[in-house]
Amino acid sequence: MKLVAKTLIVYLLLAPVLLWAQDSPGSAAPAGQKSLASTLNIYVFPSAGQSAAQQSKDEGACYNWAVQNTGVDPFALQKQSSQQQQQTEQAKAQVAQSGSGAGVKGALVGAAAGAVIGEVASDDAGKGAAIGAAVGAVGARRRTKAGQAQATQQLDAQAQQAQQASAGQMDNFKRAFGACLEAKKYMVK
């Protein structure tokens, strides 16, 4: 019985301290849980004594307000960016595969042309075909590699433009989100 009484007294003495620590303005979200602002790499400090629960509510309201006013949802934007990167990688793989067999095709065309030229020039169609095949294969490979390099550069440029556009949209969202929180008496960095 004495043990129960002592435990109850300790609990009653510590309860206000524990409640104050949980409800204090600077208290963080529960361990392992990030706030909405910190997920977006925005640092928010309650400068008017708001509780953690109030801060979470205000962040949610400001998030919705910023989405409505900018037309940008950061989580949807992140998903869209990820899909864009996957599409770019798939397109690059297709470009790399598109050149397979170019050397063989070039060799066939070169051999045919070389056989005709060899026959006319020296009455040796076989020798002309061999030279034509080699020249045709090398030329076709070079043209294919140049085309692949150009296509890859274009894909990279498009991906970079999309990434810059997404970064600009995200910056606009963060400014709107921060302005809303500042209006609610939070310090935002």
Q: Is residue 131 part of a domain?
A: yes
Q: Is residue 103 part of a domain?
A: yes
Supply the range of the domain harboring residue 101.
Answer: 76-177
Judged on CB neighbours under 10 Å (0-12, 13-18, 19+), 129 is buried
At 116-144, the pLDDT tens digits run 665 566 666 666 666 666 666 667 677 77
Q: Is residue 63 part of a domain?
A: no
Q: Is residue 41 part of a domain?
A: no
Which pTM was predicted? 0.59
At 47-90, the pLDDT tens digits run 999 999 999 999 999 999 999 999 999 999 989 988 888 888 88
Residue 153 pLDDT grade (very low, low, confident, very high; cuts 50, 70, 90) = confident
Q: Is residue 80 part of a domain?
A: yes
Q: Is residue 128 part of a domain?
A: yes
Quote the CA–CA distance of 21 and 188 in Å, as a whole number. Answer: 22
Number of domains in the chain: 1
